[in-house]
Structure 1
Amino acid sequence: MSGRRRRGSMPGNRGHVGPGLDKLDRRGVDGGVRGVDKLDRRTGDPARLAAFRALRAVTAEGAYANLVLAEHTAGLSHRDAGFATELVAGTCRSLGYYDAIISLAGGRPLTTLQPAVVDLLRLGAHQLLELRVPSHAAVAATVNLARTAVSQRVTGVVNAILRKIAALDADGWAERLRAERDDAEALIARHPQWIIDAFGEVLPAAELPALLAADNAPPSPHLVVRPDLAEVAELGGTPLRWSPFGALASGNPAEIAAVHQGRAGVQDEGSQLVAWALSRPDAPFGPWLDLCAGPGGKAALLAGLARRQHTALLASELQPHRAALVARALHAYPDPTPLVIAADGTRPAWPANAFARVMLDAPCSGLGALRRRPESRWRRQPSDLDDLVPLQRALLATAIASARPGGLIAYVTCSPHHRETVEVVEAAAGVELLDASEALPEVPDAARGHYVQLWPHRHGTDAMFLALLRKTEATQ
């Protein structure tokens, strides 16, 4: 079997429990774990078990935390689901930080521990250093989880390392990391250094700490109506600051009738704003195109906006399963239902010069959505952009070719990184650059030159980038 890491899995959590550590199994926690066993038999620990299983899917299988959490917390009480969600999201957010602490506390590389043991230690570290869980309870519960979910054999090493972690608080560990790691400040900020550097290239230095802090704060879900299918008042929450289509979620979105019926959905306000911006400047009359439509949030909003202008939307998505998600997001619209196809955006299945408005929400690094996908900051590498940028340029060329002369193209990424935003747009031909901020005059402090750049710490949204382009001549 190859020793290469499986694509999408987390580094540094592969190996075996070192020799002699099984002898620690009988030490227990604070003199014994029988009380915890009794408690587990009586009440169980469904929240921690769900969190462990979800985290294993994230680290071993490359799953997205928000998706696997929904799967593993289904059927739990509201309290248990909330605790499991905080355990997984908080652990994913601080993964590199906790890994450094675990390595120091254990006096060994993480590669000498079983992957499942590393995940147990990560969950335990989060409880010890960030949550209001008493140290003895956090250690005891994690040891018991190790016994239940993995094996009795690993309880000793889990107990030993967690007790060493519990010997210092968060401030104490920060001091130790600063003394022993060159990358300590980045780890304490819960971001790899290359991401901090990328943010620093496009954001004033004085704002960088606020952005990193905002990335580390769980976001409040935003809801959005499908235009003319539902009213914002039906969503129940406070209306959003700038988007006229959304509201803050005040409870479980799935319990809202409009969401359940497909007349509304969950969508960050930043995504709502960039879709709205495409609809506002003058453009020729004609159909609209969403070039990379999955999973369907922007397409659902654009479809309603297109109907208001008495035209139709074509939604295209490369992956068939994501195209199915787009179709589901659009199903509530009456006939004629927006057309959804599975097609390669770099090899368009439609003629050139066909669309009045084109949305390209390009595949990107996702550095602007670290609040909602906290694990992605540890998965991404600078080299990922070497593959993404050529794809983004090819897709933008398709978007331009697909537009009619005088038509509008919105180039959007959920990333502020210079290489996949400004550099991609500046390489485009056959277009003139519009001032995107003029399409969103309601939104303050959003201009980045002629572009729009939203920020979590300024706007409470994902860090969405928007360029608006107008096609200048027909494409052959």
Structure 2
Amino acid sequence: MTERSRSPYRPTRRGRGGPAPQARPKDPARRAAYDVLHAVQSRDAYANLLLPVTLRERDITGRDAGLATELTYGTLRRQGSYDAVLDACVDRSLRSVDAEVLPLLRMGAHQLLSMDVPQHAAVSTTVDLARRVVGHHRSRFVNAVLRRVSARDLDEWLSVLAPERDADPVGRLAVVHSHPRWMVQALADALGEDPAGGLADTERLLAAHNERPRVTLLAKPGRATVEDLTAEGATPARYSPHAATLPEGDPGALRTVRQGRAAVQDEASQLVALALTRVPVEGADRLWLDACAGPGGKAALLAGLVGQRGGRLLAGEVQPARAGLVARAVHRSVGDSARVVVADSTRPPWRDRGFDRVLVDAPCTGLGALRRRPEARWRRTPDSLTDLVPLQRALLGRALDATRPGGVVGYVTCSPHLEETRRVVTSVLADRGDAELLDAAPHLPEVPDAAVDRFAQFWPHRHGTDAMFLALIRKH
């Protein structure tokens, strides 16, 4: 990547007596990345939502857009490692560094340690940006710190800063692969690894979290096919019969996506919904419920499938704004088969025992989507489970109440954390005598190695998908 991508902006010539020329924005890619990183840090913005809007509003395209994307996501993914390096290069605690300055230091560290940018260019462009956004005085501080960072490459820094493998294997992985320590331990537990016996599989997972994922698309059943997507340059996905992938580029540029006949959705998200639809049920199979439907990806898939069977989907979402996203996602589904309601599924407006199939895609820590939402690893704490686990149990219990005898519930989280996956399911079923856990494996023939102990668990490093969890439960 070149050290300075050409800006799409052009200055205007000033004619005699004409208006003053417009200032040409300098280094728009780095400025856009800085603004997004600062918003993520200061007001808990989501990079995957804010960055596309920023690029579009500022008309940043091509190589500049690619540079801004790499600077934003690369910096967020490796933030933990960079903070360890920066902490060794500042004269005081990194926590005392101004909130406006810290994203500059992290961006500069990313260019110096992980990008093919010459050292002088990485330092000078970051210092130039610092002068414009934080002033000359603080830019001198940025310059001094980044020159210290440039004294070693990333491997050399990590060999100095990371704990010894035998002395503290969890701490070492946390520094080397840029994850909070508690998260490394939780993921190791989910993989069934103990630090005393080695964490090789955990390390592969953490490394996968720091890789850029491919864009996966859903061809909405009854409205588009995978062949429609491949005709626009996509490639059929590995597992899901409704999925195709893009190696790069903006999915919004595809006509099928612009028309609402396809949408971005991870392959594992598609498969857990498909598995629910494959479980045999006796009697009627015409009324399905998506109890936590926002933002609507799984609802769009379910609406298409139930519409093809002549049935209907009720999609409930507690937040009105997200319910609006669901409505757009299911718009013009087969037979207009979906109805969207704003509803709290722990206190639902629908009757008990009324649905043949119920999906509970429960709110969770999101540890399964760290490739796509890298900032989540720095926002979540072990305390996040305090509120989430009781909510997950309540949602699953009410979903079972809503299911008719003989019907089936799919409990899904985008997290592999044991507390919000299998332990939620086992604790709820232990208090009920009207439901049983089914074996997920027969309903996911495409991915036999995802099934474990009757559950299904996808992994980025094994399947190239988000770490989605699925339990299938039959109502007696």
Give the structure-1-normalised TM-score. Answer: 0.88
Deviation (angstroms), 1:178: 2.9
Deviation (angstroms), 1:286: 2.9
Higher relative contact order (CA 8 A, sep 6+): 1
Question: Which amino acid in 2 is paired with 1:116?
Answer: E
- Residue 451 of structure 1 contacts residue 467 of structure 1 at CA under 8 Å; is this kept in 2? yes
Identity of aligned residues (%): 53
Aligned to 2:67: 83
Aligned to 2:212: 218
Deviation (angstroms), 1:185: 3.6
Aligned to 1:170: 154
- Residue 235 of structure 1 contacts residue 249 of structure 1 at CA under 8 Å; is this kept in 2? no
User: Quick one: distance in 2 between partners of 1:76 and 1:388?
Assistant: 38
Deviation (angstroms), 1:444: 2.9
User: Quick one: distance in 1 between partners of 2:340 and 2:254?
Assistant: 26
- Residue 450 of structure 2 contacts residue 456 of structure 2 at CA under 8 Å; is this kept in 1? yes
Match of 1:241 among 225, 231, 238: 238
Aligned to 1:200: 188
Q: How many residues are treated as equivalent by the alignment?
A: 432
After superposition, the C-alpha distances for 1:78-105 in whole angstroms (9 at most, x for unaligned) are: 1111111111101111112211211110
Aligned to 1:465: 469
User: Quick one: distance in 2 between partners of 1:285 and 1:368?
Assistant: 31
- Residue 353 of structure 1 contacts residue 405 of structure 1 at CA under 8 Å; is this kept in 2? yes
User: Quick one: distance in 2 between partners of 1:248 and 1:184?
Assistant: 34
User: Quick one: distance in 2 between partners of 1:230 and 1:148?
Assistant: 48
Q: Which blocks of at least 5 consecutive residues in structure 2 are unaligned?
A: 1-22, 194-198
Deviation (angstroms), 1:117: 0.4
User: Quick one: distance in 1 between partners of 2:304 and 2:411?
Assistant: 20
1:54 maps to 2:48:
no
Superposed counterparts of 1:14-25, under 5 Å: none
- Residue 416 of structure 1 contacts residue 465 of structure 1 at CA under 8 Å; is this kept in 2? yes
After superposition, the C-alpha distances for 1:277-333 in whole angstroms (9 at most, x for unaligned) are: 010011242310000000000000000111122100000001000000001111132
Residues 366 and 443 from structure 1, CA distance in 2 versus in 1: closer, same or farther, beyond 3 angstroms? same
Deviation (angstroms), 1:202: 2.5
After superposition, the C-alpha distances for 1:397-451 in whole angstroms (9 at most, x for unaligned) are: 1110111111110000011111101111001222111001110112131111100
User: Quick one: distance in 1 between partners of 2:459 and 2:469?
Assistant: 9
Aligned to 1:133: 117
Deviation (angstroms), 1:176: 2.1
Aligned to 2:98: 114
User: Quick one: distance in 2 between partners of 1:92 and 1:245?
Assistant: 31
1:259 maps to 2:257:
yes
Aligned to 1:156: 140
User: Quick one: distance in 2 between partners of 1:301 and 1:130?
Assistant: 38
- Residue 307 of structure 2 contacts residue 334 of structure 2 at CA under 8 Å; is this kept in 1? no
User: Quick one: distance in 1 between partners of 2:334 and 2:451?
Assistant: 37
1:433 maps to 2:417:
no
- Residue 38 of structure 2 contacts residue 103 of structure 2 at CA under 8 Å; is this kept in 1? yes
> Which stretch of the first structure deviates more once superposed, 175-184 or 366-375?
175-184
Question: Which amino acid in 1 is paired with 2:39?
Answer: A
Aligned to 1:364: 364
After superposition, the C-alpha distances for 1:146-186 in whole angstroms (9 at most, x for unaligned) are: 11122222111010111111111112211221369973441
1:146 maps to 2:130:
yes
RMSD of aligned C-alpha atoms?
1.6
Residues 382 and 376 from structure 1, CA distance in 2 versus in 1: closer, same or farther, beyond 3 angstroms? same
1:189 maps to 2:177:
yes
Deviation (angstroms), 1:43: 7.1
- Residue 261 of structure 1 contacts residue 332 of structure 1 at CA under 8 Å; is this kept in 2? no
Give the structure-2-normalised TM-score. Answer: 0.88
